[in-house]
Chain A
Amino acid sequence: MSRPRPSLGRWRLPVGAVIALVVAFLIILFGTLIGPEGTIQMTLGRGVQLAETQYINALTVGALYALVALGYTMVYGIIELINFAHGDVWMVGSFASWWVITSLGVSGPITDPVWLVIVLILAFSISMVATGVLGVIIERFAYRPLRNAPRLAPLITAIGVSYILENLIENLISDSIVTIPRPIPNTELNLGLFSIGSVNLFVIIMAVALMAALHLFINRTRLGRAMRSTAADRDAAQLMGVNINQTIAVTFFIGSALAGAAGVVQGLYLGYSQFQIGFYGGLRAFTAAVLGGIGNTTGAAIGGFVIGFLEVTCNVFGYGKWSEAFVFATLVLVLVFRPTGILGQQQGDRA
Chain B
Amino acid sequence: MTASPTSGGVRPLLRIHDIHTYYGHIHALQGISLDVYAGEIVTLLGANGAGKTTTLRTISGLIHPSAGKIEFDGADVTHVDAHMLVRHGLGHAPEGRRIFGRMTVRENLQMGAYTRHAGAELDADFERVYELFPRLRERRSQAGGTLSGGEQQMLAIGRALMTQPKVLLLDEPSMGLSPILVEQIFGVIESINKQGTTILLVEQNALMALGVAQRGYVLQTGRIVQSGPAQDLLNDPEVQKAYLGG
Is B3 in contact with chain A by the CB < 8 A criterion? no
Is A284 in contact with chain B by the CB < 8 A criterion? no
Total of A-B residue pairs, C-beta within 8 Å: 85
Question: Bound complex: CA of A24 vs CA of B171, how far in Å?
Answer: 51
Task: Tell me the minimal C-beta distance from A64 to chain B in angstroms.
Answer: 29
Tell me the nearest residue of chain A to B111, going by C-beta. A240
Question: Bound complex: CA of A236 vs CA of B114, how far in Å?
Answer: 12
Instruction: Kindly list chain B residues whose C-beta atoms are within 8 Å of the C-beta of A7.
Output: 101-102
Question: Quick check: B87 and A241 within 8 Å, CB to CB?
Answer: yes
Question: Bound complex: CA of A244 vs CA of B114, how far in Å?
Answer: 13
Instruction: Kindly list chain A residues whose C-beta atoms are within 8 Å of the C-beta of B81.
Output: 238
Instruction: Kindly list chain A residues whose C-beta atoms are within 8 Å of the C-beta of B163.
Output: 239-241
Query: Which of these, B83, B97, B145, B159, contacts A242 with CB under 8 Å?
Result: B83
Interface centre among B96, B97, B101 (most CB of A within 10 A): B101
Question: Quick check: A228 and B100 within 8 Å, CB to CB?
Answer: yes
Given the known inter-chain contacts A225-B110, A229-B111, A351-B144, please indicate yes or no for A238 contacting B98, CB distance below 8 A. Answer: no
Instruction: Kindly list chain B residues whose C-beta atoms are within 8 Å of the C-beta of A235.
Output: 62, 82, 94, 98
Query: Which of these, B61, B101, B114, contacts A349 with CB under 8 Å?
Result: B101
Instruction: Kindly list chain B residues whose C-beta atoms are within 8 Å of the C-beta of A233.
Output: 98, 100
Question: Quick check: B103 and A228 within 8 Å, CB to CB?
Answer: yes
Question: Quick check: A1 and B111 within 8 Å, CB to CB?
Answer: no
Question: Quick check: A350 and B114 within 8 Å, CB to CB?
Answer: no
Question: Bound complex: CA of A222 vs CA of B111, how far in Å?
Answer: 9
Instruction: Kindly list chain B residues whose C-beta atoms are within 8 Å of the C-beta of A222.
Output: 114
Cβ proximity bits B69-111 to A, threshold 8 Å, 1 near / 0 not:
0000000000001111011000110101111111100010011
Question: Bound complex: CA of A7 vs CA of B110, how far in Å?
Answer: 18
Tell me the nearest residue of chain B to A235, going by C-beta. B62
Task: Tell me the minimal C-beta distance from B111 to chain A in angstroms.
Answer: 5
Given the known inter-chain contacts A225-B114, A240-B111, please indicate yes or no for A351 contacting B101, CB distance below 8 A. Answer: yes
Task: Tell me the minimal C-beta distance from A219 to chain B in angstroms.
Answer: 10
Instruction: Kindly list chain A residues whose C-beta atoms are within 8 Å of the C-beta of B91.
Output: 239
Cβ proximity bits A239-258 to B, threshold 8 Å, 1 near / 0 not:
11111100000000000000
Task: Tell me the minimal C-beta distance from B176 to chain A in angstroms.
Answer: 11
Task: Tell me the minimal C-beta distance from A11 to chain B in angstroms.
Answer: 10
Task: Tell me the minimal C-beta distance from B154 to chain A in angstroms.
Answer: 12
Question: Bound complex: CA of A240 vs CA of B84, how far in Å?
Answer: 9
Question: Quick check: A241 and B101 within 8 Å, CB to CB?
Answer: no
Question: Bound complex: CA of A236 vs CA of B101, how far in Å?
Answer: 12
Question: Quick check: B102 and A236 within 8 Å, CB to CB?
Answer: no
Question: Bound complex: CA of A1 vs CA of B57, how far in Å?
Answer: 15
List the 10 closest pairs (A to B, CB-CB), nearest first: A241-B115, A241-B86, A236-B98, A238-B82, A349-B101, A240-B111, A240-B114, A241-B114, A239-B92, A243-B83
* A residues whose Cβ falls under 8 Å from a Cβ of B: 1, 7, 9-10, 222, 225-226, 228-229, 232-233, 235-244, 348-351
26 contacts between A and B (CB under 8 A): A225-B111, A232-B100, A232-B102, A232-B103, A235-B62, A235-B98, A236-B94, A236-B98, A236-B99, A238-B81, A239-B91, A239-B92, A239-B94, A240-B86, A240-B115, A240-B163, A241-B87, A242-B114, A348-B101, A349-B101, A349-B102, A349-B145, A350-B101, A351-B96, A351-B144, A351-B152
